[in-house]
């Protein structure tokens, strides 16, 4: 079957394209914005990409158009598809019906940590010999791809609460029908489609409703919003993490290691490979989910000791003159705070220069703008890319500590960081987009000036 995917360079749709190709389908696609790592992955798979959404793509006459949620009414190609009466389907629905049916799906949901937790879980199952398939919103270093299809009955998926498509406003994750479901955390986000946190909680409860009684829900026991979700009803065994009467971490030693316990009994020791409180919580969730499919906690903890991380999640992109450049996907205040904390814990000495590109719909609208200064406060300097914002960053950061630099020109921002950086500094670049290849340009500029 020939599938033509609209919005193919999104992390989900790109992963879907990869496993559809593995399943034997002919896959092509189009998108308006093409940037790594997904563009690189698709090119390696020899999947033909078309820039833009021209109606002339009708000439491809695929058997099925697969529509990403980036596509809206008014899109020229979508309008042509509708006018001609061609068959089309959303990405999550196609995935559910064609590839996930009959699989033991392990789905990872939550506002933060989905990609890292799903990657940890896939790595644990791989080390345990389960050879899972997976579709993750990032590229786990241990696998080198964001998605793969295997003969294994197990499939790990990052379960997003964002809407499915312009014609299906349900959350993506209701399509996946998991047997094992992780609920990492729940905060207000996606201001473009949700008016308040109660609307998101409702979607999470829809997700909980479809987990079978033979399955397992693994939930963050410290999260008040998730507690409200579960209070509305749960029909599945529940294990909590982050609490003493569930999965928990002991005190963190100087080397970053900590004991892992289940119901108060120690089951193993997690090494310092997993830095930061947020990642220890991610690890607890992954260990619990893996146990549900028969992986002993000892095996899971050992696997996490070798976990290499995820591209764009605290990824070291390069060093110049003793200055390290890190790339991270953080774009919500909670994730920003946790990312800076994790980097500080990894290397306590030296300055952290935090560079933020607030490009998500929620950030551009300024819904969480007042939380940004405090979320960045533990950095030693702040550099904000202010292009396209619907709020005034100079007002929000009127009296910031640490000092900030605000720029609407990318080249000017690169110059400011390059001028301020010195040996021993770590530059932490946070964006959920391509950010104009900021990392490479900064590395080049640092190399020129040193």
* CATH code assigned at 117: 3.40.1190.10
Q: Is 190 contained in some domain? A: yes
Do both 80 and 128 map to the same domain?
Answer: no
pLDDT number for residue 38: 67
Do both 129 and 268 map to the same domain?
Answer: yes
Would the pLDDT of 37 be above 80?
no
Instruction: Kindly report the CATH number assigned to the domain that includes residue 402.
Output: 3.90.190.20
Do both 279 and 197 map to the same domain?
Answer: yes
Domain count, the chain: 3
Of the candidates 145, 64, 113, the one whose C-alpha atom is nearest the C-alpha of residue 335 is 113
Q: What is the pLDDT of residues 332-383, one digit of tens each?
A: 888 888 888 888 877 777 899 999 988 887 778 877 888 888 888 889 999 9
Do both 157 and 279 map to the same domain?
Answer: yes
Would the pLDDT of 195 be above 70?
yes
pLDDT number for residue 450: 65
Do both 298 and 361 map to the same domain?
Answer: no
- H or E segment at 260? strand 258-262
Do both 253 and 140 map to the same domain?
Answer: yes
Do both 77 and 195 map to the same domain?
Answer: no
CA distance 364 to 63: 38
Would the pLDDT of 229 be above 70?
yes
- Last-in-domain residue among 63, 90, 117: 90
How much is the pTM? 0.79
Q: Is 69 contained in some domain? A: yes
Lowest mean pLDDT, pick from 104-118, 152-166, 199-213, 253-267:
253-267
* pLDDT (average), residues 415-443: 88
Q: Is 293 contained in some domain? A: yes
Do both 272 and 183 map to the same domain?
Answer: yes
pLDDT number for residue 39: 73
Write out the residue range of the structural domain in which residue 76 sits.
2-90
CA distance 301 to 283: 8
Do both 195 and 292 map to the same domain?
Answer: yes
- 48-51: strand order across its sheet: 48-51, 26-31, 2-6, 64-67, 88-90
CA distance 292 to 395: 49
Would the pLDDT of 40 be above 90?
no
CA distance 300 to 268: 9
- Last-in-domain residue among 272, 304, 336: 304
Specify whether the CB–CB gap between 407 and 385 falls below 8 A.
yes
Do both 184 and 259 map to the same domain?
Answer: yes
Instruction: Kindly report the CATH number assigned to the domain that includes residue 69.
Output: 3.40.50.720
Q: Is 97 contained in some domain? A: no
- Last-in-domain residue among 42, 60, 90: 90
Do both 401 and 277 map to the same domain?
Answer: no
Do both 247 and 171 map to the same domain?
Answer: yes
């Amino acid at each position: 079957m020939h599938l033509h995917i609209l919005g193919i360079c999104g992390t989900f749709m790109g992963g879907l394209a990869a496993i559809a190709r593995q399943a034997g389908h002919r896959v092509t696609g189009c998108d308006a914005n093409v940037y790594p790592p997904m563009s690189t992955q698709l090119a390696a798979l020899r999947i033909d990409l078309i820039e833009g959404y021209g109606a002339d793509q009708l000439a491809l006459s695929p058997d099925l158009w697969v529509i990403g949620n980036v596509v809206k009414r008014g899109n020229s190609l979508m309008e042509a598809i509708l006018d001609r009466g061609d068959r089309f389907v959303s990405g999550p629905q196609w995935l559910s019906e064609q590839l996930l049916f009959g699989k033991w799906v392990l789905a990872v949901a939550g506002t933060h940590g989905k990609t890292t937790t799903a990657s940890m879980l896939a790595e644990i199952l791989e080390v345990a010999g389960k050879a899972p398939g997976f579709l993750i919103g990032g590229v786990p270093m241990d696998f080198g791809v964001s998605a793969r299809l295997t003969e294994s009955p197990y499939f790990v998926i990052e379960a997003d609460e964002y809407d499915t498509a312009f014609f299906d406003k349900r959350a993506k994750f209701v399509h996946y029908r998991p047997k094992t479901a992780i609920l990492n955390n729940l905060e207000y986000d996606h201001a473009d489609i949700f008016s308040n946190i109660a609307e998101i909680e409702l979607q999470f409860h829809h997700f909980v409703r479809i987990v079978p009684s033979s399955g397992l829900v693994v939930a963050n026991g410290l999260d008040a919003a998730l507690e409200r979700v579960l209070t509305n009803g749960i029909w599945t065994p529940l294990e909590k993490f982050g609490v003493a009467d569930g999965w928990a971490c002991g005190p963190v030693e100087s080397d970053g290691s900590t004991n892992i316990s289940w119901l108060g009994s120690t089951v193993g020791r997690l090494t310092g490979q997993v830095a930061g409180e947020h990642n220890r919580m991610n690890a607890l969730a992954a260990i619990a989910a893996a146990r549900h499919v028969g992986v002993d906690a000892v095996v899971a903890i050992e696997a996490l000791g070798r976990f290499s991380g995820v591209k764009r999640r605290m990824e070291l992109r390069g060093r110049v003159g003793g200055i390290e450049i890190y790339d991270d996907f953080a774009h919500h205040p909670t994730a920003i705070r946790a990312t800076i904390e994790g980097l500080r814990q990894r290397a306590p000495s030296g300055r952290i220069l935090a560079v933020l590109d607030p490009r998500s719909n929620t950030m551009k609208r300024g819904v969480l703008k007042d939380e940004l200064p405090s979320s960045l406060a533990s950095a030693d300097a702040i550099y904000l890319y202010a292009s396209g914002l619907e709020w005034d960053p100079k007002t929000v950061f009127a009296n910031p500590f640490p000092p900030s630099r605000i720029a609407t020109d990318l080249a000017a921002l690169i110059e400011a960081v390059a001028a301020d950086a010195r040996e021993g500094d770590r530059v932490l670049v946070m964006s959920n987009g391509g950010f104009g290849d900021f990392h490479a340009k900064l590395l080049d500029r640092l190399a020129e000036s040193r």
